[in-house]
Structure 1
């Protein structure tokens, strides 16, 4: 986990974050996959079987609670042989060095095959997000960055909980979960309201003391206006790497001892360019590249015979 994560956070405790409603999401996934008759399930019946979950590509394992719940609802049990957030070692269990035994699933044949694709999809996607998050966090730490790497709200509809969980499993920050978690005033909000000052004032009138207000800005002048208006977080959007370093240092020096605020940088940041933005006057680097369009980790589930 990254240095920005809480010292009390352990891989096994991440499941404690999940809300009571998350299990119903799993139910809806299963309902989507089998909306009426399970014809192939009829073929195999309910004879007891054992299946092995294999990891077949490098990455970080993440999403065990979702995998477990899928099979629980299908009447099966899962025994894990690898920890949540642990790296995949393809040489550990296979002489050819191309797969690793991750878990064992037991239950009726129909139940194993009923849950197979749904469980694999959730695990592969969550592990992919965790893997890319870990890669980018590691790259930033090696470059000397001490702040927070965060994801964005550009998540897959209906699958946000899994993807945000994957960010945390990879050592990144999940950022805001939804529109209710924090006020983020982007250019369209400001243009619609009239000015940054008016937009922040309106947000403060309803958000109360417990909800942070973030403002997206395109220049130092806009950042100054947002800070003066009382924004908690100012996002420098679509700046160049050099532009970020100049603006961040200038803003921190100009407002030192006058206003407390966090600086966030976002806009087109990826693994191949993020190092050019490393600057410890920046508190948060946010990007959708750790979860949007990332490769899945390859898993397969094979019934033993």
Structure 2
């Protein structure tokens, strides 16, 4: 036994473990970087093609295998173009020294309830004056692609802060405000419009944008109509209209406050410092 232990090269074992840990961490950071972006769907498509290629090889489906092999060459050439925003973001984070920094993302129940209270107060105030507004609350699915379309902001959510953003004739009042955790991260953002053909024809751009972002993510959208002052909430591609203060607050708590389970909800852990 001593002879066997003497032959073990502990330095090689250490370097191999270190190598695996570094590669695993880099892959994890890259996955977190693209989480919630359109790149995730592309990766799913690539994985599907990879599985299809292996299946066709196993069953000797030579024509399909040949087509897939030719497709791979095109895909690898196109990846640099397709993932250009994510690659740029990664390089920017490395340049700022943020790529390997762990963000403190704990958010307590009190903070969540305060957030809901501030959003509710803001929305009620704007509804009284028929001031149009679109507020997006990010949840599990990241929406970085749409944050990039607006003006970056980093401020604690408050009713007064949000109200000032939506003052008519100001540069940012027409776009969406995006909230991550308890901070406003961007304003004046452009969102995808819902292409649901069965929507009420009376719905305006804000409502269609709110539905659009909730169809492709798990975000929650709060809308104030500029025409009627009515308050609506969109989530999971559904729209709940004509909310009063109590129903608005209750719905936000239902959607954002974690249920009493053993799992830690996203809003308890994802708040940028």
TM exceeding 0.5: no
TM-score, length basis structure 1? 0.23
TM-score, length basis structure 2? 0.24
Name the structure where helix makes up a greater proportion of residues: 2
The structure with the largest alpha-carbon Rg is 2
